[in-house]
Amino acid sequence: MLVTSKELTAPARARGYAVGAFNAVNMESAQAIFRAAEETRSPFIIQITQTTLAYTDPEELFALIVALGKKATIPFAIHLDHGRSFEVCMRFLRLGVTSLMIDGSLQEDGKSPRSYQENIDITRRVSAAAHAMGVTVEGEIGRLGQVTTEKEAAEHLTTPEEAVRFLRDTDVDMMALAIGTTHGLFKGRPRIAHDRIEQIAAQAPIPLVMHGGTGVPDEDVRKAVSLGIAKINIDTQIRVAFYDAVIERVHAVEKEFAETDAAGGVRKYDVRKILAPSRDSMQKAVMDRMVVFGSAGKA
């Protein structure tokens, strides 16, 4: 059941759980996400990041997700993660996403910051187009992606004033905040600014979004969810699960080859022997998050 992400995150915010947004980059990761959701009966968001454009034509990935979705018994949304330009957002809208993020906090290079006015301008423009098609829009206020240390994260937290102003000036359905997390892995331990989430949530009744949830202790995640975080992006954690399993399998295959060579046998090359356990490992990582987010059993 393909729905918008607002249909998933609005009840989540109201009922005190969060919907996970998981990145798909290939068949194995997409299958792992769908399988995890079916097994835990958890609503979910499957997302494609703009940077995936450099890896594959999103049309191919999209067709795969749609095929998986036809068999799904769980409601899900297809989301563009971190769209950086109006053109890219329109391209994904045409593909058929039911949800998209316009990251107006950064320039199209994904590095230099946009001014507040620039953020508002592009976010409003994308919102108008997406809403005309019934698609959910996520905006971002504050600097959450470019920090790598605890100190930097603390200096760039979204303020309640910024959040309220952003909500008033744009027409977004969900809002990503800088609340102490970062993309990828942190140097040190990420510290979630729970009081900040609470202050913002009191004045912004929409689903709030946490990016860069990897490495945040489970109890801190649960607390953030109880305060108003209703969508959590998880990418690195799935990548780590995949990497670890691939490395382990490659070592096992190397050992197998050495034994075969020593016995004078013929090596058998089957990439599925590496990918199948790695897909299982990603599925486990996704299921684990669905349980912590409280979305398991909600579909």
Q: What angle do CA 209, 215, 219 make, to 5 degrees?
A: 75
Distance, CA of 62 to CA of 24 (rounded, Å): 10
- State whether residue 90 is helix, strand or coil: helix
The residue whose Cβ lies closest to Zn ion is: 211
Nearer to Zn ion, 211 or 231 (CB): 211
- What dihedral angle (degrees, nearest 10) is formed by the CA atoms of 157, 159, 163, 168? -150
Nearer to Zn ion, 82 or 279 (CB): 82
What CA–CA distances, in Å, run from 86 to 47, 90, 108, 130?
18, 6, 10, 11
Q: How far is the CB of 58 from Zn ion (least distance, A)?
A: 17
Nearer to Zn ion, 6 or 211 (CB): 211
- Residue tagged active-site, from 81, 103, 173, 235: 81
Q: How far is the CB of 233 from Zn ion (least distance, A)?
A: 5
Closest CA to 9 of 281, 255, 207, 217: 207
Q: Which stretch binds Zn ion (CB under 5 A): 7-15, 148-156, 205-213, 266-274?
A: 205-213
Q: Which stretch binds Zn ion (CB under 5 A): 28-36, 87-95, 110-118, 211-219?
A: 211-219
Q: How far is the CB of 250 from Zn ion (least distance, A)?
A: 30
Residue 36, φ and ψ in degrees, nearest 5: -60, -40
Q: Answer yes or no: 81 catalytic.
A: yes
Contact pick of 13, 79, 124, 211 for Zn ion (by CB under 5 A): 211
Q: How far is the CB of 231 from Zn ion (least distance, A)?
A: 11
Q: Which stretch binds Zn ion (CB under 5 A): 28-36, 121-129, 210-218, 285-293?
A: 210-218
Which residue in this structure is represented by tokens 């744009």? 170
Nearer to Zn ion, 101 or 241 (CB): 101
Q: Would you say 207 and 9 are in contact if contact means Cβ atoms under 8 Å apart? A: yes
Count other Cβ atoms within 10 Å, centred on residue 257: 14
The two tokens of residue 181 are 């997390």
Please report whether residue 114 would count as binding Zn ion according to CB under 5 A: no
DSSP state of 159: P
Q: How far is the CB of 183 from Zn ion (least distance, A)?
A: 5
Interface with Zn ion by CB under 5 A: which residues?
211
| Active centre residues (catalytic) | 81
